[in-house]
Amino acid sequence: MATTTEEQQQQQQQLKQAKKELEIYENFATPLPGTFLNLPQESVLLKCPSCGIKDKTVVENDLKWWASELNRIVGCVFVTFCCCCCLDYIVPCKQTDRSHYCGNCGCYFGRAMKRRAPLKIK
């Protein structure tokens, strides 16, 4: 009797684990092996195609180089002409990507891109 309840618990745990894996992989479109699209901003549980270890991804912020340069130039122009209230010049600062890597071998999985909604002109 005790073995049947243990077996049932093991089966339930296996089903939960399989369901978690399915949820993870249903959220991604994979055009190339190991490159995931639609990754979230936070760390996720993935199986590395390179080393085969299933672990949480390591997330690094990548500021786009043009965002910092554009912000510097636009900031200088606005300070020079004193029209800081005309445009939200901090928008380029918000252009960051979050790259996901394997915590074990450092294999690149993909990135979560932060995009702003298009501006509506009336």
| pLDDT tens column, 72-106 | 777 777 666 665 555 555 555 555 678 888 888 88
pTM of the predicted model as reported, rounded to 2 decimal places = 0.47
User: For residue 90, what pLDDT is reported?
Assistant: 52
User: For residue 82, what pLDDT is reported?
Assistant: 63
Task: Mark the ranges of the chain whose per-residue pLDDT is less than 70.
Answer: 1-3, 22-37, 63-68, 78-96, 114-122
Pairing outcome for strands 54-56 and 58-63: unpaired
Q: What is the DSSP letter of 94?
A: G
Measuring CA to CA, how many Å separate 32 from each of 13, 28, 37, 61? 31, 11, 10, 23
